Structure 1
Amino acid sequence: MPEKTKRSITIAAPPERVMDVIADYDTYPEWVAAAKSVEVLEVGSSGRAHRVRFVLDAGMVKDTYVLEFEWAADGRAVSWELVSGEIQRAQSGSYLLAPQPDGSTLVTYELTVDLTIPMIGLFKRKAERAITDTALNELKKRVEG
């Protein structure tokens, strides 16, 4: 099993506001640089997206893939698994939101990606760290902006 990359950031907003931004897939192309299009394919019983198709263009890495989401009842976590992808064999990830005493939220992002193309572990982990760091920084900018 591939290793998990785990990164965290503090965002100056309550968990509900952060999760609302995470869950608003229709707006991802506005603030996620690599997201060329995002389409909710199926909505779950919670009213949040259950299946979502992403078209990603991150320079040398281009992929179209579908993720299936599970939302925590308390609204403070979401996890996902890859349903299908062009260059990904597997992807699992999660956001965990922890309210802080000052009203901010500690956001922890975990990601594991397994590609169909061979990649040296060191480069794969470096790419995952870059993906998670970029995602957290873009999320922070969107929520706080």
Structure 2
Amino acid sequence: MKESISIAAPVARVIEVVSDLGNTDRWANEAKGAEILERGADGRPSKIKVTLGAIGFSTTASYDVTYTDSTVSIKGVDGKLIENSTIDYEAVESGAGTELTMTSVMDVTVPVPQWGLERAMSRSARKNLQSVKKDAEA
């Protein structure tokens, strides 16, 4: 699943907003809470634990987080209902602002139709990107 949005803010500001992983509204509609487990030398979260709830299920999962000047990558490392999960953000300078693209992959261990999972992921991504846009442009 891949979604993009144009944001009237510089790349550095957009990445700063995306990197605020303690504020789950910025990156996951299904996230009910996040705990920062570790921080890197730059002070940004490098490992987080997230409580997720969607389509009747609730679970926790741990993620490793890596950064560049224009990307944030969140990769699942431990989760009971989530087998594979990666969320990548890429911010590229575009005109008077930034084009932010979110790409995500998720495989779950519960019987959910693929179309339902994809629809939920797409809806979550759009909400996420709108939230980043609002905060970055403020």
TM-score category by the smaller chain? Answer: 0.7 to 0.9
* Cα-Cα RMSD: 2.2
2:117 is the counterpart of 1:124: yes
The 5 Å alignment of 1:9-88 reads 9-28=5-24, 34-58=30-54, 60-72=56-68, 75-88=69-82
- Residues 16-56 of structure 1, C-alpha deviations (whole Å, 9 max, x = no match): 11111111123336896643321111112443211011123
SS at match of 1:141: helix
* Inter-partner Cα distance in structure 2 for 1:17 and 1:25: 14
Report the Cα offset of residue 60 of structure 1.
3.1
Q: 1:67 to 1:108 in 2, by over 3 A?
A: same
Q: 1:120 to 1:88 in 2, by over 3 A?
A: same
TM-score by length of 1: 0.83
1:133 to 107, 126, 129: 126
Report the Cα offset of residue 79 of structure 1.
1.1
Q: Which runs of 5+ in 1 are unaligned?
A: none
Size of the alignment, in residue pairs?
138
Q: Which runs of 5+ in 2 are unaligned?
A: none
Greater Cα offset, 24-33 or 53-62? 24-33
Give the counterpart letter for 1:135 in structure 2.
N
* Inter-partner Cα distance in structure 2 for 1:56 and 1:142: 22
